[in-house]
Amino acid sequence: MTNLSEEEKSLPERLADNLIHYILEEKLEPGIRLPNETILCEKLGASRSSLREAMKLLASRNIVNIRQGSGTYIANSPGMVADPLGFTFIADKQKLAQDLLEIRFLLEPPIAARAALRATEHDIHKIQTLCQEVEDLLRSGKDHTQKDIEFHTAIAMSSQNMVIPRLLPIINSAIPLFIQITENVLLEETIRVHREITDAIASHDPVAAHDAMYLHLVHNKNRIQANTTPPA
């Protein structure tokens, strides 16, 4: 898709671009509240109606969050949407899970190794806490999906690589799908390997972290294949 020239863009689209420049120039961090409409209209020389349309465009791109009665805030992960690759609309979830697993094998073991090399004490504490929370939920038979996502996210963030967080939607989309397809039977394997990954990162051992994450994915692969292989 060809990018539109400035002349081809509508006024709200041009205002949206100006607002992005403003956010970057002012170094506004996620969660910060933007100035009110009156101030922004004066800064940008825009009408309220055009500004509101521009804000809706930014909200659709997850750059800002519009909170009724409170104001407009910088999104927690500006520009990152929950399903950027459209996995929701892929009907064959079994094939999607297998293909996502191929990508996870490429991404996650090296990410775990980098986390082991670069994780701070704060990062390690967060990973350890989430590891325990996932284990507690698994043993009590409760849904651990969100905490599992947070666990893998914490590992990715600990790599201290600014590109890796942009890849998280691939990992985060895969986890609920794998839990559903494997019917959550990998309880003991998940607990054990999560602990091995956590201990390796805490020990700053990149080889052990890489291998533990690889083993974690192997368990998932074996279970998915078992679910897709027709009985003899």
pLDDT in tens, 54-77: 999 999 888 999 998 899 999 887
Contact of 210 with 105, CB cutoff 8 Å:
no
Indicate which CATH number applies to the domain containing 91: 1.20.120.530
Task: Note whether residue 3 is domain-resident.
Answer: no
Q: What is the DSSP letter of 64?
A: E
> Does residue 138 lie in a domain region?
yes
CA distances from 106 to 10, 13, 110, 157 (A): 41, 37, 8, 17
Q: Is residue 6 part of a domain?
A: no
CA nearest to 81, candidates 93, 65, 97: 65
> Do residues 149 and 57 both lie within one domain?
no
Domain end, chosen from 23, 51, 74, is at 74
pLDDT at 199 over 70: yes
Model confidence, pTM = 0.73
Q: Please tell me whether residues 43 and 100 are part of one structural domain.
A: no
Range of 118's domain? 87-228
- Give the three-state DSSP class for 66: strand
State the chain's mean pLDDT as an integer: 89
